[in-house]
């Protein structure tokens, strides 16, 4: 018995020693990994952007994350943390995605909507926005898919893309990015965006929900003026045009007769002609914010509609984004951002016509995915600028109505800090819908104060004041 006891004791000691050795080995490996990723972080740190104001109190990082080694596909990101005084370590992380498809989140989200910097008209200097969303969260902007903004692929066939691969690449980006920025693992994580991000965000959210291994602490998403369902968005859009006196009865009937079951992005035949006639009847207005003055200072076409249009202007945002375009093409700016490492032959562009024209995968409806996400308890807020004619509030309301959700709080006005009506809202079981009064397609551009208020309440999961 004694010999057996000593043998057992020895075996136990050996096992304990082995466990300790494995733990120490694991600690050593983890420490080495942390050191490696810390070095990569520091390589991505932005020391100072050209023309940056002196009173900047937040850290910035930018660079590339490879999403397909074999194809040489890499996505460009720009992380803008909360100011030091606001303790960025305690703030959530929010990924911002613009739509198009084919438009840069750096160009729109970061530089004219929710980011802290605005490029001055000289195209060389920056000023600070008083309504930047990094007051409330750390902001991560992603140029997606490859071929958009500074993101690239070394494989020519990659120029043919669509929803499925865009979502997969964005998910791969996130998993790899969280390895590099390990301090953000398990931090509350949200996604926000607008327009064709009405596809990007639900599809990416679904991948995170189904495949995430605990790295991403995903809480929900905030989505503005989104494309959700081809049929309901078409019906609602044409109704908005007719109700706002933008089109004739004849054109309204032609649109409803030929377009409802057609693709919202890629109209054909009779629908194509009816849309062309509708745009001609619009006249010289800004369809992205119908009561704003149009911008005639640029020759670009609206990036949300592929159809040739009888106008050659966009909204005022195009007048603003031209300053960003000039700034982002400066060699010193690209060097500071660690961007354009492959030295592309064409200038940096706000939207890619190549990506848009080669889009091959665009599901007709996001409603089945929304139902899955709602059932999973993901926090979902959808909002509309009520002067947008491209993806108007009526389109979104028809799509939400088709979900057949139970109403928790009926339609009501919400108020801003000045006790003025900021918009209207309805709370459903699993989803909150809001409008922002006087805002266009890019709500944070047209009504930045209201947009920041909406964002702050969303993060706190707090209903906007109704009186």
Q: Which of 388, 399, 416, 457 is catalytic?
A: 388
CA distance 344 to 74: 13
**Does the annotation count 82 as an active-site position?**
no
CA distance 386 to 394: 9
CA distance 238 to 438: 20
Question: What is the token pair recorded at 365?
Answer: 């409806």
**Does the annotation count 388 as an active-site position?**
yes
Number of H helices, E strands in the chain: 13, 13
**Does the annotation count 303 as an active-site position?**
no
DSSP string, 158-180: GGSB-HHHHHHHHHHHHHHHHHH
- Element of type H or E holding 95: strand 93-97
Question: What is the token pair recorded at 164?
Answer: 């499925």
Would you tell me how many other CB atoms lie within 10 Å of the CB of residue 249?
8
Q: Which of 153, 195, 258, 425 is catalytic?
A: 195
Question: What is the token pair recorded at 407?
Answer: 């109403």
Question: 342 in the Ramachandran plot: left (φ > 0), alpha (ψ -120 to 50) or beta?
Answer: alpha
The Cα angle at residue 455 between residues 214 and 411, in degrees rounded to 5: 110
Task: For 300-392, list the strands marked E by DSSP.
Answer: 379-385
Can you name the residues that pair with 73 across neighbouring β-strands? Answer: 68, 153
User: Residue 312 gets which letter from DSSP?
Assistant: -
CA dihedral 211, 212, 213, 218 (to 10 degrees): -150
Would you tell me how many other CB atoms lie within 10 Å of the CB of residue 255?
26
Computed on alpha carbons and rounded to an integer, the radius of gyration of the chain in Å comes to 24
**191: phi then psi, degrees, rounded to nearest 5:** -125, 140
Question: What is the token pair recorded at 201?
Answer: 């965000």
CA distance 115 to 135: 10
- Whether the CB-CB separation of 137 and 82 falls below 8 Å is answered with yes
User: How do 217-224 and 188-194 pair as beta strands?
Assistant: parallel
Residues with a catalytic annotation lie at: 195, 388, 441
């Amino acid at each position: 018995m004694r010999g057996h006891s000593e043998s057992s004791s020895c075996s136990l000691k050996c096992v304990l020693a082995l466990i300790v050795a494995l733990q120490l080995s694991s600690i050593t490996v983890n420490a080495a990994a942390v050191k490696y990723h810390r070095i990569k972080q520091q390589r991505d740190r932005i020391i100072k952007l050209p023309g940056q104001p002196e009173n900047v109190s937040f850290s910035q990082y930018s660079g590339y994350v490879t999403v397909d080694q074999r194809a040489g596909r890499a996505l460009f990101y720009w992380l803008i943390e909360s100011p030091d005084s606001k303790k960025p370590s305690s703030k959530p992380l929010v990924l911002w995605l613009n739509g198009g498809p084919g438009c840069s989140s750096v160009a729109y989200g970061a530089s004219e909507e929710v980011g802290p910097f605005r490029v001055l008209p000289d195209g060389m200097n920056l000023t600070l926005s008083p309504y930047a969303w990094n007051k409330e969260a750390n902001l991560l902007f992603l140029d997606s898919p490859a071929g958009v903004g500074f993101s690239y692929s070394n494989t020519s066939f990659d120029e043919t893309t669509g929803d499925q691969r865009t979502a997969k690449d964005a998910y791969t980006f996130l998993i790899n990015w969280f390895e590099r920025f390990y301090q953000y693992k398990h931090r509350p994580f949200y996604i926000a965006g607008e327009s064709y991000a009405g596809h990007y965000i639900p599809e990416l959210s679904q991948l995170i929900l189904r495949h995430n291994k605990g790295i991403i602490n995903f809480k929900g998403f905030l989505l503005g003026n989104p494309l959700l369902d081809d049929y309901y968005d078409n019906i609602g859009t044409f109704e908005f045009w007719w109700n706002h006196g933008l089109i004739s009865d004849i054109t309204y009937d032609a649109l409803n007769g030929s377009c409802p079951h057609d693709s919202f992005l890629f109209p054909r035949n009779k629908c194509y002609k009816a849309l062309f006639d509708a745009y001609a009847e619009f006249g010289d207005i800004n369809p992205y914010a119908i009561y704003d003055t149009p911008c005639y200072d640029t020759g670009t076409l609206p990036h949300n509609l592929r159809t040739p249009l009888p106008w050659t202007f966009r909204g005022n945002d195009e007048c603003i984004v031209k300053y960003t375009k000039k700034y982002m093409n400066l060699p010193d700016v690209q060097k500071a951002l660690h961007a354009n490492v492959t030295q592309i032959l064409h200038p940096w562009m706000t939207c890619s016509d190549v990506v848009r024209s080669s889009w091959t995968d665009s599901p007709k409806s996001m409603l089945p995915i929304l139902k899955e996400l709602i059932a999973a308890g993901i926090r979902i807020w959808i909002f509309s600028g009520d002067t947008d004619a491209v993806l108007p509030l009526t389109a979104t309301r028809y799509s939400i109505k088709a979900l057949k959700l139970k109403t928790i709080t009926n339609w009501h006005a919400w108020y801003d800090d000045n006790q003025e009506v900021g918009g209207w809202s309805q709370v459903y079981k699993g989803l909150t819908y809001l409008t922002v009064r006087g805002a266009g397609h890019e709500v944070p551009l047209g009504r930045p104060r209201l947009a920041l208020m909406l964002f702050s309440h969303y993060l706190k999961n707090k209903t906007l004041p109704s009186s």
